[in-house]
Structure formats: C-alpha cells, structure tokens
Structure 1
C-alpha cells in the first residue's frame, strides 16, 4: 500500500473504504493480491452490469485486437462504431418505437451531461436549467452545478450558476406536490423566474440515496417542461442498461425525454463510453461544435455491441426482474429483523438501506468488508447502504452476499 499512500493523490476515496490491493475479478467476485475472495455488491458504481471480465465481451475485444481493428478514431467512421449504432438502433430503439440520434461524447457520464446541457441551451436560447435536490449529474462544472452535493460544490472553486433547484419527488414528504411553487412562478410574469432551457433529472437518484420518482410526478415534470418550451433531459447513466429490469429506467413511466444521457454500463466491459440520445429535430449542432479526444472508443463499441446480445429478447431482463424481486424480499426481512430503524428503497437490482446516519451506514460497510462483501454508501452524508450487484450474478452468490449483509445488520 505504500506506493499509493506516497504517490497517489489524497483525492482517492473508495480505496480508503476497501483498503486492499485487488488483483483479479470474475463476474461478481474479486480477489486481492493475497488471494482473499470478495463478493461484489458495488459493480463499479453501475459500470459492470455484466460483471467483471465477462467472457463473451472479453472474447469480442480480443478477437478485434487480434484482427488489428482500429482502437482510436475520434469521430471518424469506423466499422466497430457502425456495428454498434446498427445494433443499438435495431435492438434497443426500434423495438421500443424510439427515434433518436446518437452523439458519442467524451467517455464519462459527466461529458454526456455537459453535452446535453449545452445543446439544450443552444436549441432554446435560454440559460437556466431546473435540477433537483439530491441529484447527481457529474463533477465537471456544468454538470456539477446541477448536482446537489454541497461538498462537491465547495471543491469547484468558482460560482456554479444558472440552475433553479427544485425539491425532488418525496423530498417534502409523501403526497406533497414539489412542482407547485415552480409552476406558479412560471405562470407569474413578475416572479423573476424565466422559463428554463431544460429540466434535468434521474428517475432513480442513485448517488442521491436511491430515491424513486413516481410515474405521476415524472409525467407532471414532462408536462411542465413541454408547457414552457423546455427540454426534458433524463440522466439515465446509472439506472439504465437493464439495472431496473428494463433497458431504460423510464420505459414504463409514461415519459418521452428529449435528451437521454447514457454511460457507465453501456460500454459493457467497464471500458468507458458516453452516449447522448437526441431527438432528431433537436440535433442542431454545427460540425465540431462539441468535441472530445476520446469520443471514438472502438473497444467500447465492440464490447457494447456484444453486450446488446443480452437484450435481443426479454429473457435476460426477466431474470433481472426475478433477481430484483428476490433481493427486495430478502431485504424486507433483513429490515424487519434489524434492531435499528432502516428504510428500504429501490427497484430491480438497485436498492438502498437508509440507516439514518452516515456513521451507521459506514459501520455496515466496514463490517461487511470484514465479511468479504464489497458494498458502498450513497445519499446525504453517506447514510444509505447501496445494494447493486452485477445483473449477471449467480443466484447462489447473490444469496451468500445477502446472507453476509444480514449478519452485519443484525449485529448492529
């Protein structure tokens, strides 16, 4: 560990939570350099939906490299990009009757969000964006302005402007219409609030604490945006690519976003890729107006194309829903048996255990690691324990991981 402590920046975070040197990984398991085996309920914060070192995806990349395929191409045409686009359109968009163009941005989620914000402002000619409490959209300045976390804001070093912050669904209590004050302000020409360029939201606030928006609230946001000529941006970076039991988290929620932000799991293997889905009439970019050196990640196209095999029919997503239901049933029992108050939230294969304080959640994570279970926290003050294993986790390993989590929580 000396090399990391001596030479790597103090900014490192996860390595402080799990202070070992990892060496190998396969699906939902990792091993450290001493050969200790761990169950992974983290999934690289949603990057590894198909597990570590997925054999199908690994073979596709090895075959591509051995054939001397292009690895870096900026936004030039490449065969791997062509294959990804064709497969994504035919496997994901057309069956859902969705019509979008694909913009490949820089390879991280915050790059996609920046592109969405810039495009929304360009299309509407407006500056302000509505963002919601507890939202997380990235760490670059435009995306960071839309993110709610105070600690991240303080690290920016500059003012973060042009954002109207509105309470997320449920933030003010069950049944409270959090949109009403904004709705009234937009109706009032003397309120001082102008119609925004866009509304940006996550249907499930993953880093914000696994907060789920209701169908009715999301539809109300979509209507409000449409009424005032604003674009609806759905940041689906962590909750898409099958995580909820649907490819997109909003599929069964009755909304049609203007712009959809994808990253994390879409690269399949953990190789970075960012994609902005754009309604065709909104694709008003001038050539080269938004750019990035690593927007042509051909290995990501290869792995991402192979990962789309999982969505050729509903078999895989049905399995995700089954595992998600099983996980929720077990977590309900764990919460009922606990000696402390815990609130359970989630859907599909993303759940959160709100422990009430960051200290309690940190204790769960630390004790879980002693049981060789890798599980993170999220939410305000890190008070929510996030349960997010790979979608491909084997049943017996899922059960074993939940058993270890139960042992920890019951011991509190």
Structure 2
C-alpha cells in the first residue's frame, strides 16, 4: 500500500473501506491481488449495471480499438457517435415516446451533465434560482454542489453556494404532510423570500441521500407545479437510471414528462466516463460551442453503450429480470429487518436500488466492515450514512444474490448481537 500512501491525495475514500488491491473483475465479482473474490454490491456506485467486463461489450470495444476507430474527437461527427444516436433513439427513446428529445453530450461525468442542465435552464428562462430538495445529491462541482444537500460535500466548496432554494422532498415530514402544498404556498407568496425559479431538479430515488423514493402522485404534483409557475423540470437519473429501478428511466409509468433528463454512470455500460442531457427541442437555445468540454465525445463509450442497448433493452426480458431480482433481495432484507425489529430497521428503495436503514451510521459501518471481511463489498448512504445500500450489478445471478445476502444476514447478526450484549451490560 506504500505507493498509495506516499503518492495519492488524502481525498481518497472508498479504498479506506475496502483496503485491498484489486487486480481483476468479472460480472458481479471483484478479485483481489491475493486471489480473494468479493461479491460486488457497490458496482462503481451504480456505474456497472451490466457488471464488470461484460463479454459482449468488451468484444465490441476490442473490435473498435483493433480497427483504429476514433478515440477522441471533441464533438466532431464519428461513426461511433452516429451508431450510438441511432441505437439510443431506436431502442430506448422511441419505444417510450421520447424520440423528440435532443441529446447534448456534456463533459464525461454526472456533475458535468447537471451543470449543463442548470446552465441551460437559467439561459432559457432568464432566471437564476433553482429549486432542489433535502437529501438530494447532484455532484460536487460548484453549480451542482449548490443543489446538493449533503453537508459533508458542501463543506468542501470554499465559497458561498448561491441561487438555490432547498425544498422538502417527498415524505420529508412524514406521509401526512404534503410537501408539494408547502412549495406551492411558498411560490405563491410574494413575501416568502423564494425567488421565482428557473427550474426544479429532482431524483426519483435519492441514491446518496438514503434511498428515499418519490411516488408517482408526488412527481405528478411536482410537474403540475412546474407548469403552473413556468419552471423547468429536470430529472436527475444519473444513479437511478439505466435500469436500476426496473425500467430504463426511473420515472417510467409515473405520468410525467421532464423538460430535461441527466444521465451518466451506467450509460456507457462498461464503466467508461459518459454523460448526456436529454432536452426538449425548444430548449436547445445554445449557441455553437457556448457550452463545451474537451471530453464531450467519448467514442469508446459510444461503442459500449450501443452494444449494451442492443444486448439488454430490445425486449422487456432484462427489465423483468431486474424486477425479479429486486424482489428477491427485498425479501431477504425484509427478513433481516424483521429479525431485528427492536432496532427499528426497515427496507428502503425500488427495483435493485435497495437498502436497510439502521439506527445510526456506526451500526451501518459495522455491518459493511463485517461484510467486507467475509467477501462482500457494500457501502452506506443517507444523511448519517445509516443506510446499508445494495447497488449490485443487474446481471448478478440468483446464486450470487443468495450468497451475498447470507453474508449480510451474518453481518447484521454480528452487529446487533453485539449491541444487545452492550445494552445488557
């Protein structure tokens, strides 16, 4: 480990939780330098929905590289980009009635896509203010960070984070309080202090915020509020999209039509950096080059993304498998939560974006530490890092799910049996 300790910045984080050197990865497994195999319930924080080194995607990339296909081309036309756009429209957008959306290739990360969406919303509307939500996470570059709620990440900014009004997310005050009604009152009151916003940015499932889920009713109410007050609706589908919740987009069948959608993480299908903004045509008011970036055209990612669409999304079979596996994981998590009901554990999330809410961050960290020591890589999320969060590859086998859940079951037994002893003493 000496090279990492000597040469890498202290900002590194995941390696502190998983202090081994990984040499290989395949499917839903990570393999350490000493040959130890780990089931991966982290999957690049949701970047590897199709697993590590999927053979179909890998072969497509190898063939492209072998043919001397374009690697870098700014935003010039390329055959790889052409194939991505055609495949994305044919397999993803058109079957969902979304073929009118335009695709903006931003810089390669999710926060780049968020920055572009916020910037365009302000340009189109002529307003500065953005509404974001409690526990929302949208990235850590300054514009995106201003819309992010997490205190830890905001603390690294070094400057004031302005032009954002924070509103309570769905069920923030419990199921009996309508946060949409609260927002409407604030927007209609000229003395509320909330400047008329350019846009609202929202996650349908808050990944880093603790797997909080918005209902279809709440989202439809939010869209109605946006239309009434001429605000744009931006859905951040960076972590919840690309199949994670059981449909390609997390908001499918919820009766809303966002003005803009941000995608990244598993969009490339292979872990390659890739991000886009989908936008309604009338919003495309950019002047040529007005928003740019050196790496806004990752041709290798175009290749693997198109291969992923063709491999997984031409029928409903893959989405149905995600839903079945999600049900399998949830059932095991519910058993764990019920077994330790005295500690008020409960299951959160949708599809294969699930977790168990613990009493505190210390308990959740202990569960994750035990899991890693026994062959399972898993992390936490939430305001207090109190949610043990499953983001395994969507291609994981049922056998691997059962193995991972057995480890997790033992981890909770170890953690809460220890707490029972401490409490008794």
Q: TM-score, normalized by length of structure 1?
A: 0.99
Preserved CA contact (<8 Å) 1:47 1:264: yes
The answer on whether the counterparts of 1:337 and 1:410 sit within 8 Å (CA) in structure 2 is: no
Q: C-alpha distance in 1, partners of 2:344/2:371?
A: 18
Question: Residues 51-82 of structure 1: CA distance to partner in whole angstroms, max 9, x if unpaired?
Answer: 00110000000000000000001100000000
Paired residues for 1:170-189 under 5 Å: 170-189=171-190
CA shift at 1:181, angstroms?
Answer: 2.8
Q: In the TM superposition, what whole-angstrom CA distance separates every residue of 1:256-314 from its partner, at most 9, and x where no partner exists?
A: 10000000000110001001001011111100010000011000000000000200010
Shift of 1:365: 0.5
1:79-90 correspondence to structure 2 within 5 Å = 79-90=79-90
Give the corresponding residue for 2:353.
350
- The answer on whether the counterparts of 1:236 and 1:261 sit within 8 Å (CA) in structure 2 is yes
Structure 1 residue 190: Cα displacement: 3.4
Structure 2's unaligned 5+ residue stretches are 417-425
* Residue 204 of structure 1 pairs with residue 196 of structure 2: no
Following TM superposition, by how much is the alpha carbon of 1:352 offset from its aligned partner in structure 2, in angstroms?
A: 1.5
Q: Deviations over 1:76-103 (max 9, x none)?
A: 0000000000000010111011120000
Whole-Å separation in 2 of the counterparts to 1:371 and 1:355? 20
In structure 2, the partner of 1:92 is 92
Secondary structure of the residue aligned to 1:353 is strand
Pair 1:322 & 2:333 matched: no
Q: Given the alignment of the two structures, is residue 7 of structure 1 paired with residue 13 of structure 2, yes or no?
A: no
Contact 1:107 1:297 in 2 (8 A): yes
2: CA distance, partners of 1:144 / 1:192: 21
Corresponding residue of 2:69: 69
RMSD value, Cα: 0.9
| 1:32 counterpart = 2:35 | no
Residue equivalent to 2:153: 152
Report what 1:370 is aligned to. Answer: 373
Number of residue equivalences:
412
Q: CA deviation at 1:216?
A: 1.0
Q: How does 1:120-159 map to 2 (within 5 A)?
A: 120-159=121-160
Secondary structure of 1:344's counterpart equals strand
1:311 paired residue number: 313
Match of 2:412 in 1: 409
Q: 1:179-223 deviations in whole A, cap 9, x for unaligned?
A: 223211222233332320000000000000000011111111111
Counterpart of 1:222 in 2: which secondary structure? helix
1:167 aligns with 2:155: no
Q: Paired residue for 1:60?
A: 60
SS at match of 1:219: helix
Give secondary structure in 2 for the equivalent of 1:179. Answer: helix
Alignment partner, residue 391 of structure 2:
388
Q: Is the 8 A contact 1:166 1:179 kept in 2?
A: no
Q: Cα offset for 1:386?
A: 0.3
Distance across 2 between alignment mates of 1:340 and 1:267: 40
Secondary structure at the residue paired with 1:102?
strand
What's the offset of the Cα at 1:174? 1.5
Q: Provide the rounded CA distance (Å) in 2 between the counterparts of 1:133 and 1:278.
A: 25
Contact 1:23–1:32 (CA<8 Å) still a contact in 2? yes
The question of whether the paired residues in 1 share the 8 Å contact of 2:103 and 2:277 is answered with yes
TM-score (norm 2): 0.96
Check conservation: 2:343, 2:359, Cα contact below 8 A: no
| Native 8 Å contact 2:132 2:148 kept in 1 | yes
- Preserved CA contact (<8 Å) 2:334 2:346: no
Instruction: After superposing the two structures, state which structure 1 stretch, 338-347 or 200-209, moved more.
Output: 338-347
CA contact (8 A) 2:358 2:388 kept: yes
Asked whether the equivalents of residues 30 and 37 of structure 1 are also in contact (C-alpha less than 8 Å), the reply is: yes
2:218 paired with 1:221: no
Provide the rounded CA distance (Å) in 1 between the counterparts of 2:406 and 2:68. Answer: 46
C-alpha separation between the residues in 2 aligned to 1:311 and 1:330?
27
